[in-house]
Amino acid sequence: MTTVILDPAGHGFEWVDLHDPSHEEIQQLAEKYSLAPESVEDVFQPEHLPKVERLEGYTLVIFRVYNVSCESDADTVPELTNKIAVFVSEKYVLSIHKQPWEELGTPETLAGKSFKKAEEVLLYIALTVLQSFDKPAKLLSEKIDFFEERVFLRNQKKPLLKSLYYLKRKVEVLKGLLIQTSDSIEHIDPAGTNNPATRNIRDLYAKQTSIFANLSDNITHLLSIYFNISAQRTNETIRILTIFSVFFLPLTFIVGVYGMNFDFMPELHWKAGYPLVWLVMVAVVVGIYVWFKKKDWL
């Protein structure tokens, strides 16, 4: 669907938005605005990473915007984000996206904004792209806090490793996308003017990058803690089983000796043999217990 948001008569340039366009529509725009075939080919690649490309007569900027309708276990670039291709020149802005992008605003609200240049539209799009990562950053931070509490519980109802894996994958993918977006943000204001809008975008980008870097560090530390606690619990279980085996090993030995069926075992004919064996076994158990206590193993 093609929507003309701004017309050249009232603004000096036009803004055309294309939602899920067909090949024919894009080819018609390519002919109308003299777009290079290589640029048009980038539009058709759904997994294309963010980039900026300055060509003769226009600039192509590709963003990845967070997909608010993605699944909870999504952990790949196409699942977590949608691609936005923007062609910018002094006379036009072409924004192309396959999935709906409601966060950008309706054509009526966008037409009411005071865009004086095409570059201002690009800045607005870049700002909206970065703002789309605010909500997932908050949700991921809350999930990490939740898992931190669950990791330290002794009685866990289900394993956390799979959930932690998906969480780490999601954080790393979004962090990588923001890093890939750096080129587009750095070259979004080629003239190097002291533009407040540009500064806001760069400040927001630095903030988002810092947030996801911290989230990545936190989930890495959380995984390390999880493995350490799991190993500690395993060692505790092995320690308890070892203590039990130490108590029962000498008792098993004594019972095994007197369970042999030899004829010449004088102890078998003692009247006090049975209680004496019990007394020896109790003494062994008490001796082991006292020894463990002195070693602080109990």
Per-residue pLDDT at 179:
86
Residues 6+ apart with CB under 8 A from 174: 66, 80, 81, 133, 136, 140, 212
Q: How confident is residue 242, by pLDDT bands cut at 50, 70 and 90?
A: confident
Residue from 114, 90, 116, 85 nearest 101 by CA: 85
Query: What pLDDT, on the 0 to 100 scale, is given for residue 200?
Result: 81
Q: Output the pLDDT for position 154.
A: 60
- Asked if pLDDT for residue 193 goes beyond 60, the answer is no
Amino acid 234: pLDDT: 84
3-state secondary structure of 17: strand
Does the pLDDT value for residue 121 go beyond 80? Answer: yes
Place of tokens 């000498």: 250
Report pLDDT for 158.
60
Q: Domains in the chain, please, with CATH?
A: 2-231 (3.30.460.20), 239-294 (1.20.58.340)
- In order of 283, 286, 288, the CA distances from 294 in angstroms are 16, 12, 10
The structure tokens 């396959």 sit at 98
Which residue intervals of the chain are DSSP H helices?
8-11, 23-33, 37-43, 77-80, 107-111, 118-131, 134-151, 161-186, 196-258, 273-294
Task: Provide mean pLDDT across the span 140-158.
Answer: 76
Amino acid (1-letter code) at residue 193? T
Whether residue 248 is predicted with pLDDT greater than 60 in this model: the reply is: yes
Residue 38 is predicted with a pLDDT of 82
pLDDT exceeds 60 at position 192: no
Helix (H) or strand (E) holding 59: strand 58-66
Quick one: residue 99, left, alpha or beta (phi over 0 = left, psi -120 to 50 = alpha)? beta
CA–centroid distance for 77 within its chain:
11
For the cut 80, the answer to whether the pLDDT of residue 159 exceeds it is: no
* pLDDT tens digits, 10-28: 777 888 888 888 888 888 8
Which pTM was predicted? Answer: 0.72
Can you tell me the mean pLDDT for 58-77? 83
The DSSP letter of residue 48 is: P
Q: Are 134 and 103 in contact, with CB atoms under 8 Å apart?
A: no
Higher-confidence residue of 263 and 111: namely 263
29/204 Cα distance (integer angstroms): 32
pLDDT attached to residue 227: 84
Share of the chain above pLDDT 70, in %: 94
How far is residue 85's CA from residue 5's CA, in Å, rounded to a whole number?
16
Q: Is 261 exposed, middle or buried (0-12, 13-18, 19+ CB in 10 A)?
A: exposed
Mean predicted lDDT score pLDDT of the chain: 82
**Distance of alpha carbon 187 from alpha carbon 60, whole angstroms:** 11
Report the percent of the chain where pLDDT is more than 90: 0
Distance CA(23)–CA(3), nearest Å, equals 16
pLDDT, residue 61, reads 87
pLDDT, residue 167, reads: 86
Q: Is 218 in contact with 143 (CB distance < 8 Å)?
A: no
Contact (Cβ atoms closer than 8 angstroms) between residue 13 and residue 90? yes
